[in-house]
Amino acid sequence: MGATGLAIQLAYVISAALFIFGLKLLGSAATARKGNLLSAVGMLLAIVAALLDQGIVEYQWILLGFVLGGVIGAGAARLVQMTAMPEMVALFNGFGGMASLLVGAAALATAGSTFVLITIVLSILIGGLTFTGSLVAYGKLSETIGSGAVTFRGQQIVNSLIVLGILASAVMFCLQPENSLWLYLIIGLSLLFGVMVVIPIGGADMPVVISLLNSYSGLAACAAGFAIGNNILIVAGALVGAAGIILTKIMCKAMNRSLSNVLFSGFGSVSTEQTVVEGEIKPISVEDAFYVLEAATNVVIVPGYGMAVAQAQHVVKELAELLEENGCVVNFGIHPVAGRMPGHMNVLLAEADVPYDQLLEMDEVNPRMETVDVAIVIGANDVVNPAAREVESSPIYGMPVINVDKARTVFVLKRSMASGFAGIENPLFYKENTRMLFGDAKESIGGLVREFS
Amino acid sequence: MEAVFLTFILMLAIFLGFELINKVPATLHTPLMSGANAISGITVVGAIGLAGTGQQDLSNWLGAAAVALASINVVGGYMVTDRMLAMFKKRGK
């Protein structure tokens, strides 16, 4: 290793340290922005170091790639709507996977040992399935394709055959790396496999899928790092892989389901339960709701994906401010799987200028629910369903939920009486203390705001 | 030996990642994901080496395409994360 080579390796060490420190600063909202900046500096350093490599004799293709990717990335980052963040992250996961697939395939030209060949297979496999899996996830999230679970007879058999095919081609590839048929087979089957693993997963489970694909995009980079023998790819890829795995675990726990249950059984296929819901639906007008809120001293707002769809976050913020001026304590209760990706609600409310210390996690908000005068549920359904505590036959029994029914009064803002995304009956709507405020969430809240002012 | 050495690094990095990410509060999970996305663009470092070999062969083209894709992740990921984090404000500010 020459002096330049040594300098490059040292630069990689420093950039790894910057990534780690950046992630550490992400542990608090106050320092998170600085953390992201440090991480970006680490990336810049790694890129500059890579450019100094003496094996590089011409720069025009690198430059072209940078410009092309940079312009697309910067444009997307500036233009994306906060409601569309899940789609964007899904798409970016896919690009990362594809990049690792390409690097893995290109590394074949210089591959020596069987170990390197195996890591090439892994980077192609993980990268490929991340790419097509993310494209399907993107399609489901942006609703360019149906967001429901696609299941068909013999699906498990087809999937098993694909896995066997991948294994067989991988073995043949390691035995005959010069025969490019095996390489193409692995690429093709990996891409197909990505589609097959994501289509049976329904829209409500998307937070799990994006987290998992996020993890895969890191692991693909990691495998590519093995294939070309580069430390920084391994370290950075492993950090991303770990992040995705932890988020996946949190999402699964919040839905009280195992990962294999999410991956292999569409939520829609759960048999409809036979619960007899007692009580009647009690609608309330905007005017009456206003009188209740005017007298309230403690309000908790529980948003769900419906708030994002109705683009109601800004008017919700207005209502929260008016309530506070009226001498009322207002908090937001955020369920971990509210929205279509981890933390989605928090970003939407932050965009509407709601301070982050007003956003409480489920475990913080539940113990104080008995002291709450009014809980306002906006576009959320399954995450506030008391059947998760009370009805043992319910498919969501055991899932931790926000116990809004324990508040003195519950307002549920809802378009109609159709059941939630998962198609599960919600006894909350029939409770003694529940009042239904029917109509578009944005208009209903807007009506309340007008009553106050 | 090289393989063992690299696997060793992998194991340590994964444990470190678990420790770090476990401390990230739920409110920052979306920026964490987009930030992690940007970091996974580290593949660009590997792609640079392949795209600049000067040989007009397949692996050169694959490398150039990988540079472009990974740059989308790096640039887009960091920028959108920064945009989101700039919106997070404490009460009374």
Q: How many CB pairs under 8 A join A and B?
A: 370
- What is the rounded CA–CA span in Å between residue A344 and residue B31? 9
A314 and A344 belong to one structural domain: yes
Number of domains in chain A: 2
What is the three-class DSSP state of A438?
A: strand
- The confidence score (pLDDT) of residue A147 equals 76
- The confidence score (pLDDT) of residue A269 equals 44
Cβ atoms of residues B22 and A27 within 8 Å: no
A107 and A248 belong to one structural domain: yes
Q: Which of A23-27, A177-181, A273-277 has the lowest mean pLDDT?
A: A273-277
The minimal CB distance from A53 to the residues B49, B60, B68 is found for B49
- Closest chain B C-alpha to A63 CA, distance in angstroms: 9
Max CA distance (Å), chain A: 80
Q: pLDDT band at A272, cuts 50/70/90?
A: very low
Residue A268 predicted with pLDDT over 50: no
A259 and A302 belong to one structural domain: no
A386 and A339 belong to one structural domain: yes
Tens-place pLDDT, residues A243-261: 999 999 999 988 888 888 7
Task: Pull the structure tokens for residue A388.
Answer: 């998760």
Q: Are A40 and B70 inside 8 Å of each other by CB?
A: no
Residues 9-38 of B with CB under 8 A from A: 9-10, 13-18, 20-38
- The confidence score (pLDDT) of residue A190 equals 97
Interface contact B88, partner A, CB < 8 A: yes
Cβ atoms of residues A232 and B45 within 8 Å: yes
- What residues of A are in contact with residue B1 (Cβ under 8 Å)? none
Residue A53 predicted with pLDDT over 50: yes
- What is the rounded CA–CA span in Å between residue A62 and residue A56? 10
| Percent of chain B as helix, strand, coil, to the nearest 5 | 80, 0, 20
A249 and A155 belong to one structural domain: yes
Q: How many helices (H) and strands (E) does chain A have?
A: 17, 6
Q: Tell me, what amino acid is at A130?
A: T
The last residue of a domain, from among A268, A302, A335: A268
Domain coordinates in residue numbering, chain B: 28-85
- What is the rounded CA–CA span in Å between residue A264 and residue A260? 6
What is the three-class DSSP state of A273?
A: coil
CA A396 to chain centre: 20
Range A80-85 average pLDDT: 91
- The confidence score (pLDDT) of residue A172 equals 94
- What residues of A are in contact with residue B79 (Cβ under 8 Å)? 73-74, 77-78
Task: Pull the structure tokens for residue A161.
Answer: 């055959």
The minimal CB distance from A350 to the residues B9, B69, B88 is found for B88
Task: Pull the structure tokens for residue A430.
Answer: 């029939």
Residue A271 predicted with pLDDT over 70: no
- What is the rounded CA–CA span in Å between residue A175 and residue A85? 43
Q: How many helices (H) and strands (E) does chain B have?
A: 5, 0
A37, A48, A62: best to mutate for the B interface, most B CBs within 10 A: A62
- The confidence score (pLDDT) of residue A346 equals 94
Among residues A24, A17, A13, the alpha carbon closest in space to that of A243 is found at A24
Q: Which of A142-151, A333-342, B26-35 has the lowest mean pLDDT?
A: A142-151
Residue B83 predicted with pLDDT over 80: yes
Which residue has better confidence, A58 or A24? A24
Q: Is residue A69 part of a domain?
A: no
Tens-place pLDDT, residues A219-236: 999 999 999 989 999 999
Interface contact B8, partner A, CB < 8 A: no
Share of chain A above pLDDT 90, in %: 66
A247 and A383 belong to one structural domain: no
Average pLDDT, chain A: 90
Q: Is residue A61 part of a domain?
A: no
Among residues A88, A440, A437, the alpha carbon closest in space to that of A290 is found at A437
Catalytic residue among A53, A363, A382, A440: A382
A264 and A389 belong to one structural domain: no
A19, A21, A23, A118: best to mutate for the B interface, most B CBs within 10 A: A23
Tens-place pLDDT, residues A104-130: 998 888 777 889 999 999 999 999 999
Residue A206 predicted with pLDDT over 80: yes
The minimal CB distance from A240 to the residues B27, B36, B75 is found for B36
CA A293 to chain centre: 34
| The pTM of the whole model exceeds 0.80 | yes
- The confidence score (pLDDT) of residue B42 equals 96
- The confidence score (pLDDT) of residue B18 equals 94
The minimal CB distance from A62 to the residues B59, B67, B79 is found for B67
A109 and A149 belong to one structural domain: yes
Tens-place pLDDT, residues B7-63: 999 999 999 999 999 999 999 999 999 999 999 999 999 999 888 887 878 888 899
Q: Is residue A119 part of a domain?
A: yes
**In this structure, how many other beta carbons lie within 10 angstroms of the beta carbon of residue A166?**
22
Residue A266 predicted with pLDDT over 60: no
Q: Is residue A162 part of a domain?
A: yes
A192 and A303 belong to one structural domain: no
A227 and A340 belong to one structural domain: no
Q: Are A20 and B20 inside 8 Å of each other by CB?
A: yes
Q: Treating both helix axes as pointing N-terminal to C-terminal, what angle do B43-51 and A85-106 enclose, rounded to 10 degrees?
A: 40
Range A326-353 average pLDDT: 92
- What is the rounded CA–CA span in Å between residue A293 and residue A373? 8
* Ranges of H-type helices in A333-412: 344-351, 362-365, 387-390
- The confidence score (pLDDT) of residue A276 equals 57
Cβ atoms of residues A424 and A385 within 8 Å: yes
Range B70-92 average pLDDT: 94
**In this structure, how many other beta carbons lie within 10 angstroms of the beta carbon of residue B91?**
9
Range A326-351 average pLDDT: 92
Residue A11 predicted with pLDDT over 60: yes
B19, B72, B82: best to mutate for the A interface, most A CBs within 10 A: B72
- Closest chain B C-alpha to A282 CA, distance in angstroms: 34
- What is the rounded CA–CA span in Å between residue A45 and residue A200? 41
- Closest chain B C-alpha to A65 CA, distance in angstroms: 4
What is the three-class DSSP state of A360?
A: strand
Q: How many CA atoms lie within 13 A of A64 on its CB side?
A: 12
Residue A173 predicted with pLDDT over 80: yes
Q: Which range marks the domain in which residue A213 is found? A: 80-268
- What residues of B are in contact with residue A235 (Cβ under 8 Å)? 9, 13
- What residues of A are in contact with residue B5 (Cβ under 8 Å)? none
Q: Is residue A28 part of a domain?
A: no
Range A270-275 average pLDDT: 48
Chain position carrying tokens 């803002």: A413
Q: pLDDT band at A195, cuts 50/70/90?
A: very high
Helix or strand (DSSP H, E) at A444: helix A441-452
Which residue has better confidence, B81 or A420? B81
Interface contact B1, partner A, CB < 8 A: no
Q: Which of A143-152, A190-199, A438-447 has the lowest mean pLDDT?
A: A143-152
Residue A341 predicted with pLDDT over 50: yes
- The confidence score (pLDDT) of residue A26 equals 94
| Interstrand relation of A298-303 and A374-378 (parallel, antiparallel or unpaired) | parallel
The minimal CB distance from B69 to the residues A95, A229, A334 is found for A95
Q: Which residues on neighbouring strands pair with residue A243, listed in sequence order?
A: none
Range A346-353 average pLDDT: 94
Helix or strand (DSSP H, E) at A131: helix A114-141
- What is the rounded CA–CA span in Å between residue A32 and residue A166? 41
Q: Is residue A317 part of a domain?
A: yes
A352 and A405 belong to one structural domain: yes
A382 is an active site residue: yes
Residue A178 predicted with pLDDT over 90: no
| A375 φ, ψ (degrees, to nearest 5) | -105, 125
- What residues of B are in contact with residue A96 (Cβ under 8 Å)? 37, 40-41, 43, 69-70, 73
A224 and A297 belong to one structural domain: no
